[in-house]
């Protein structure tokens, strides 16, 4: 049996351009939320959802001085994430729960209104009962709830589903890419929705895997093409940026964000955006 992909990325920080781009765009969005709502305490649950290195979505918030708590249901992964944050020399509170609904993601071990921000990135469809997790995020937040999921309107989603990663979709609950369902669930928990839109709109499709792997799965065999996406010249690592090893990485990557930054209605961007999101405030 193949080990889960996340195990590799606990030590291999080369995530690929697409993931580094996704993190930087997300970091900017979270920084804006922090400033708008005066966020100081943060809960990210679950800590997984994005591919690549687990547990580093909230690093930018921690670097800005926020107190960050991360929740996982896998002890090995959580230990790896704790070590990674140690490398970054950043404080973080790791919390291990058991998987499942009630008693797990449906009963987070925090008091009501414990955090300024409770959020989740692209993880709902991995859970046995995502509605219970959304209810918990609403319960433990005192200010803001932020939830994002993959956008099933864009071409990369369907390329992945129909051609290059069909088996993946049998392992997730695809209902939770329906942003309407997420909004209805949050509203039922007295969360007032104040914003919705799209994030992560680079000029390439969302295949959630390195470009050279996409070529293989499409049956394209070209050394010239593959060489463009492999080797030392094709190394992209958010951790290298966080560790100060590649201080210019943000500038090199964010130049691709012209669609994210374009003054267009989000509904137009949704044709190509990789994620849709909602922001709510606790009533």
Model pTM? 0.90
Looking at residue 230, the DSSP 8-state letter turns out to be: S
Show Cβ contacts of residue 241 under 8 Å, excluding neighbours closer than 6 positions: 20, 247, 249, 250
pLDDT tens for 248-277 read 999 999 999 999 999 999 999 999 999 999
Which H or E run includes 275?
strand 275-282
Both tokens of residue 219? 């049956």
Burial of 215 (0-12, 13-18, 19+ CB in 10 A): middle
In a 10 Å sphere around its CB, with 0-12 CB exposed, 13-18 middle and 19+ buried, how is residue 100 labelled?
middle
Q: Regarding the domain delimited by 5-151+172-202+234-282, which CATH topology (the fold level of the hierarchy) does it fall under?
A: Rossmann fold (3.40.50)
**Residue range 118-172, pLDDT digits in tens:** 999 999 999 999 999 999 999 999 999 999 999 998 888 888 888 778 888 888 9
User: What whole-number distance in Å separates Cα of residue 58 and Cα of residue 33?
Assistant: 12
* Contact (Cβ atoms closer than 8 angstroms) between residue 186 and residue 273: no
Q: Where are the domains of the chain?
A: 5-151+172-202+234-282
pLDDT of residue 167: 86
Cβ within 8 Å of residue 4, ≥6 positions away: none
């Amino acid at each position: 049996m193949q080990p889960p992909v996340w195990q590799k990325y606990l030590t291999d920080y080369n995530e690929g351009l697409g993931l580094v781009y996704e993190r930087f765009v997300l970091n900017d969005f979270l920084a804006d939320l922090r400033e708008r709502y005066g966020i100081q305490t943060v809960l990210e649950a679950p800590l997984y959802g994005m591919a690549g290195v687990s547990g580093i979505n909230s690093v930018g918030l921690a670097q800005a001085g926020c107190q960050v708590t991360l929740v996982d249901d896998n002890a090995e992964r959580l230990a790896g994430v704790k070590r990674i944050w140690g490398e970054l020399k950043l404080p973080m509170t790791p919390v291990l729960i058991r998987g499942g609904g009630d008693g797990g993601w449906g009963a987070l071990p925090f008091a009501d209104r414990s955090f300024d921000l409770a959020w989740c990135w692209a993880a709902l469809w991995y859970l046995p009962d995502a509605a219970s997790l959304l209810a918990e995020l609403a319960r433990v937040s005192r200010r803001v709830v932020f939830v994002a999921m993959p956008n099933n309107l864009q071409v990369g989603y369907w390329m992945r589903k129909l051609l290059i990663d069909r088996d993946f979709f049998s392992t997730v609950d695809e209902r939770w890419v329906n942003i309407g369902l997420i909004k209805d669930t949050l509203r039922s928990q007295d969360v007032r929705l104040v914003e919705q839109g799209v994030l992560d709109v680079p000029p390439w499709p969302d295949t959630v895997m390195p470009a050279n792997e996409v070529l293989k799965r499409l049956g394209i065999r070209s050394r010239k093409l593959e060489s463009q996406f492999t080797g030392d010249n094709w190394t992209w690592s958010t951790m290298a940026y966080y560790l100060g090893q590649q201080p210019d990485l943000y500038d090199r990557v964010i130049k691709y964000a012209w669609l994210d930054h374009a003054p267009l209605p989000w509904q137009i961007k949704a044709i190509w955006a990789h994620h849709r999101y909602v922001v709510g405030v606790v009533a």
